Structure 1
Amino acid sequence: ANVLVGSERAHVTVLGDITGTALQNIDRLLAMPYGCGEQNIGGFATNVYIQQYLEKSGQLTPEIRDKAQEFLQSGECPSLLYKRDNGSYSAYGKNDTTGNTWLTAFVLKSFGQARPYIFIDEKHIEDALGWLQRHQLESGCFQSVGSLLDVTLQGGVKGELSLSAYITVVLLELGLPLTDPMVNRALHCLREASNTSDLYMQALLAYVFGLAGNVEQQSALLQSLAQHREELHWQKEVKYRNQAPWVEVEMTAYVLLAYLSVPSISAADMVTASQIVHWLSKQQKPYGGFHSTQDTVVALQALAKYAALTYSTNESMLVTVSSQAGARQEFHVDNTNQLMLQRVALQEIPGQYTVQASGKGCVFVQTSAGPRRREASPPHHLPWSLFREIPHHNSCCRYSGERPATNMAVIKAKLPSGYIPDKGSLRQVSFPGRRTGWASQTAGNQEPDPLGESPEPRKTPIAALSPPPTAGAHTEPHPCSKGPPRAEAGHRAALCPPANGRAGWDPT
């Protein structure tokens, strides 16, 4: 019902390399706004794994190296703006009351992986390691400190145990030896909890023990995971009602990394790995990314590692895409263009198409289709209320979803004619754990308000709207939308004219 008539579009993409889509769209992998620490480092990390793969497979040309390093260098310096004096990192740096454990580990992981390609001051590595070490508990696990605005960024890492496993991955990927006290204590913490029934934890622990060379515990975890797989991918048994598929992608990518991390990979393991890659590749978006920051980072890391192990040159391949009506499109792939993204529009929609390949080599074919819609996202659990205090209208919102805290969201309200935002009230808006109120940007008569996480289902004041003395009583309703930063549309509401001295938000 929301599809715009005549807006259907479909494309077919052909590449000679599984990482080609991501490579051609490094700057578009994560279509989200930049401006806080957690969003900035997400774009930095994805480029690292693409460059790693190209280097290992002998495809890192000077032109590609320059492009990749440009993105790495443009991401490193802004990320340091969110570093705190104690070596930790947080979404807004020194404006937050404390650093965030997960974000600090994420930055440490990204900087460590980027060291071969750009200059990273070792002091930044040492500072982050020191801060994490100070937050390691006697049990060897790590203490969760601070908060994130975008809770999807950390993927499936939710509790102390999964956080500890993630940090242990970071330490081992940095190359710290098993005899390092920090690593040794962390592995002790994880060995005590290796009998977990949580599938995400099993996938993450399988990768941890693979990096640590503990083949026995890794094999036991992989055998347990094999009993729960769905067509060579994994998903949680209990989902939130609107849980996005990024959790499944991230879990499956960790399982793939686990299979590829053993010292000697068997032929059977490579067959399993190739089947996992087949499922992961079908989840990729047209620009090479996935559903969120963290599943994109982990999946690209896993795909790059797999591609480096299986890379082979394409001698000559011919891919033919044919429709039932007789339309025909040919794609030629060889060593000279295997990284080039070849993409054409499919004219017959709806329609059935056949893909045939001949020659010697490997090609990656992806289709993408979808109409334009009036609404970009389903409703979010952010009920509204509004009350009138002459001469102001104050708007409030409250989170009432199933999760313990909200994700980062942006509220965009188009103000009725004659109304102006009271910017002073915006500066007074604050949330637990934040020193300052939220800044707001206005464009015309639209007022976007960034809404941070609220740990309680309580009403939070967002803004005050001040009408001039001439404001009419029969103001036309105007839309209000709220949703994640990437969405331009969400749940809509209208600001209604006052009735009996009160006004309210009328959901539409």
Structure 2
Amino acid sequence: MSFTGYQRELSYKHYDGSYSAFGNSDPSGNTWLTAFVMKSFASAKQFIFIDQLYVDQAKTWLGQQQQYSGSFASVGQLFHSDMKGGVNDEVTLTAYITAALLELGTPLTDPMVQNGLNFLRNAFTQLNSIYATALLSYTFTLAGDQYMRIRALTILNSQAIVEAGGRHWRRESHLNVLDSLEVEMTSYVLLALLSGPVLQTFDMSYSASIARWLAQQQNAFGGFASTQDTVVALQALAKYSAATYLLTGTVVVTVTGPSPPKIFTVSQSNRLLLQESSLQVVPGDYTVKAEGKGCVFAQVSLSLYNGKRPQTNMVIIEVKLLSGFQLDKESLKPSSDKINVTLLFDLS
């Protein structure tokens, strides 16, 4: 599956090494998407074969977009702007790209990294969003800049929302509802805490409260609200899992309530196995009790059946080209804002 995704991603590659939603059909690659692909390819190299040339080409193209100030210019269009999460200005874009370069193992002496970090240091006092502060805290941590890291984390600590044993951050003047940026910025704070030396004010219990809140936002399928917050949240939770990993230990989890008791045993031999069971009686009050040594994550998923949906009198059919036929790409340019060619039939 990973190799299939790698091959598919290459279809969006431009000749100059950048990436965009429609590849060479677009006039230019997109800055954020190119950085995202570069970061993803570098991370996947330890699991599948990735041609280093594609990573280097993406990095070279990004370097061409860096301005004299050290910031990166936002070039090209992104088909789904929600993909990039809270990256919406030159500060957050520069922080994202600089962090991606550092995750690649790019040395601090690299001009792209040096200039990017200098720009971020100069822009720090003008930050006007919690998201930007959270992202920069992670970037400075990767750069080993403890002074800027502590400054950012100290500000974030004063803005944290602590409730029910969890800790998270919320957008300014935002409704009291969860959104993907809330998950993303909270994940960046956790990454900042776990990617550098442990700070006295922010010990492991502090990180645990963040991980607790993040785990509670995860849906039954393992994801979160969007693609980008899922990527960052899973990266942060994986970092936390590695930091709290124990070589030994077994935990027995017992679920009691109106249904017959359910017992789950989590040990080193099955710690990566998803264990699940259906509750026969709902609604009802259930108790989850864990005994032993280790860390486990328990989640309850409730699905409601709302009855049959009314007929819509419409059906959408995706039509692929038959063997021997060739697509006239020129005829599709006026509608290049769509990924799929669809036929719509009205059955009324």
- Normalised-by-shorter TM-score class: 0.7 to 0.9
Q: In 1, are the aligned partners of 2:137 and 2:149 still within 8 Å (CA)? A: yes
2:173 corresponding residue in structure 1: 238
Map 1:193-204 onto structure 2 (within 5 A): 193-195=123-125, 196-204=127-135
Tell me which amino acid in the other structure corresponds to 1:237.
Answer: E
Unmatched tracts of structure 2, length 5 or more: 316-330
The CA deviation at 1:96 is 1.1
Q: Give the residue type in structure 2 aligned to 1:337.
A: N
Identify, as 1 or 2, the structure richer in helix: 2
Q: 1:331 offset after TM fit, Å?
A: 1.4
Q: Percent identity?
A: 44
- Of the two, which has the highest radius of gyration? 1
Residue 221 of structure 1 pairs with residue 155 of structure 2 = no
- In terms of mean alpha carbon deviation, does 357-366 or 188-197 score higher? 357-366
- Alignment CA distance shift 1:228-1:374 (3 Å): farther
SS in 2 for 1:276: helix
SS, match of residue 300 in structure 2 = strand
Give distance in 2, aligned partners of 1:437 and 1:218: 42
In structure 1, the partner of 2:112 is 182
SS in 2 for 1:177: coil
1:370 deviates by 2.8
The structure 2 residue matched to 1:256, chosen from 190, 195, 201, is: 190
Offset at residue 119 of structure 1 (A): 2.2
1:434-480: CA deviations, max 9, x gaps? 5x87752236x26xxxxxxxxxxxxxxxxxxxxxxxxxxxx95xxxx
Gaps of 5+ in 1: 1-70, 377-411, 416-426, 447-474, 477-508
How far has the Cα of 1:375 moved from its partner? 11
CA distance in 1, matches of 2:341, 2:192: 44
Cα distance in 2 between the residues matched to 1:234 and 1:271: 17
Give the Cα separation in 1 of the matches to 2:333 and 2:177: 29
> How do residues 416-495 of structure 1 correspond to structure 2 at under 5 angstroms?
430=334, 440-442=341-343, 445=345
State the match for 1:122 in structure 2. Answer: 52
1:369 alignment partner in structure 2: 302
Q: Note closer, same or farther for the CA distance 1:95–1:326 as it changes in structure 2 (3 Å cut).
A: closer
| 8 Å contact from structure 2 (residues 259, 281) kept in 1 | no
Correspondence list, 1:54-453, <5 A: 71-195=1-125, 196-231=127-162, 232-239=167-174, 245-264=179-198, 266=200, 268-313=202-247, 315-323=249-257, 325=258, 327-373=260-306, 414=314, 430=334, 440-442=341-343, 445=345
Give the 3 Å change call, closer, same or farther, for CA 317–437 of structure 1 in structure 2: closer
Report how far residue 314 of structure 1 moved: 5.0
Total equivalences in the alignment:
327
Give the match's secondary structure for 1:358. strand
How far residue 284 of structure 1 moved from its aligned partner, in angstroms, is 0.9
- CA gap of 1:438–1:122, structure 2 versus 1, over 3 A, is closer
Contact preservation (8 Å) 1:315, 1:361: yes
Q: 1:114 is matched by which residue type in structure 2? A: A
Question: Normalized per residue, which structure has more strand?
Answer: 1
With structure 2 as the length reference, what TM-score do the two structures score?
0.87
Question: RMSD of the TM alignment (CA)?
Answer: 2.6
Which residue type is aligned with residue 224 of structure 1?
Answer: I
Secondary structure of 1:352's aligned partner: coil
TM-score, length-scaled by structure 1: 0.60
Letter in structure 2 aligned against 1:284: Q
